[in-house]
Amino acid sequence: MTSSVNPKDAPSAAPLGFQNHDHRACVAGALATAESRCAADGLRLTPVRRKVLELLLQEHRALGAYAILDLLREAGFGSQPPVAYRALEFLVENGFVHKVERLNAFVACAHPGRMHSPAFMICRLCEAVAEAPSAPARGAFGAAARAAGFQIERTVVEAEGVCPSCAAKGDA
């Protein structure tokens, strides 16, 4: 969602998505969405899972599993890798979190509640990650896949580059 870059919010030292936004609302909304959808679908958003989602939403950037694990430990949860990986598995399976393959890291979904195939823009300078909608199965690639007889089930689309904030710093 890149409809408009709205500078109304905090000038912020925030490595957020790329545009400023009301991050408290962004976090609270996503958590609420996750809770209601879990309730609706009979999924169990347990304390660990909820905490991991909350951490990823608050950071608003991609975190490695071990970084998450450190934060979990600080919050009093288990500190062994499977604790983090299992929570992440649940969150990824149910679309609340995406894995960024390029970084071997995880990021909270920016468009929860809707089925979608994510595309990411990853700043190589500040490591900010923005999620854009994508429809890779349409377009030239999808046509090539159909021509080859390949049935696409899942796609990874990740662009590495420089975010507007870092570009401004660098050029200035």
Which of 28-36, 56-64, 71-79, 118-126 is the region at the interface with a copy of itself (rule: CB under 8 A)? 118-126
The entry of Zn ion, DNA, a copy of itself, none that residue 55 binds, CB within 5 to 8 Å by partner kind: none
Answer for which of 10, 22, 39, 66 binds DNA (CB under 7 A) is 66
Q: Is the dihedral of CA 27, 32, 37, 42 positive or negative?
A: positive
Tokens 């490695």 — which residue? 64
Q: Are 77 and 68 in contact (CB under 8 A)?
A: no
26 is in an annotated binding site: no
Please state the closest distance from residue 73 (CB atom) to DNA, in A. Answer: 8
Check residue 65 for interaction with DNA (CB under 7 A): yes
Q: What single-letter DSSP state applies at residue 100?
A: E
Tell whether residue 79 is a contact of DNA (CB under 7 A): yes
50 Cβ neighbours under 8 A, 6+ residues apart: 31, 34, 35
Annotated binding site for Zn(2+): 123, 126, 163, 166
